[in-house]
Amino acid sequence: MALFDKLFASKPDTKIARAILIPSIGVMASDGRMDERELLQLNNVVSFSPIFSPLDGKTVTGLCSEILTSFKNRGARAVYAEAKAGLSPALRETAMCFALRIASADGRLDESEREALSYLAVEFEIPMETFEAMAMVLGMMQRPASA
């Protein structure tokens, strides 16, 4: 039976996972580089998200590559609009939390990352008070040991 399971297995739907990843990948790439700490943080949030549990690492890596290519070929606004169209308001908040977490992984927010996050908050129609609460909680989570 295992042979037939592999031959006829359907691929998991990746539409929601792709849309969730788009803001994180966009914010990571916004400053022109992808810091190793950002990549590790992306792996961390994906590992613990139920959205990604049906997907293996190869699939997630493939999605990230596809998203980067989309940003290069279509531009950030078009790709962010794709993500918005594919996500409910609640999942747009989830995607924004992911992006905030990834952006802060290297211990700082560059101006380009701030601009991308601000643009996303507006594009995703996240109320400013909700966005500010997300950022505040993230700041609490990311405090250094010397705090």
Q: Provide the pLDDT for residue 19.
A: 98
Residue 91 domain flag: yes
Q: Provide the pLDDT for residue 11.
A: 64
Judge whether 35 and 83 are in contact, CB under 8 Å: no
Structurally, the chain folds into a number of domains equal to 1
Residue 50 domain flag: yes
pTM score, whole prediction:
0.87
Domain that holds residue 45: 13-141
What tens digit of pLDDT does each residue of 120-145 get? 999 999 999 999 999 999 888 888 88
Residue 55 domain flag: yes
Residue 133 domain flag: yes
Residue 3 domain flag: no
Amino acid at 74: R
Q: Provide the pLDDT for residue 33.
A: 79
| More confident site: 32 or 27 | 27
pLDDT interval class at 60 (50, 70, 90): very high
Residue 8 domain flag: no
Residue 4 domain flag: no
Per-residue DSSP letter, 117: H
Domain harbouring 86, CATH code: 1.10.3680
Query: Residue 134: which residues within 8 A CB-CB, separation 6 or more?
Result: 93, 96, 97, 100, 126
Residue 135 domain flag: yes
In the structure encoding, which two tokens stand for residue 129, read together?
């008070």
What tens digit of pLDDT does each residue of 82-115 get? 999 999 999 999 999 999 999 988 777 889 999 9
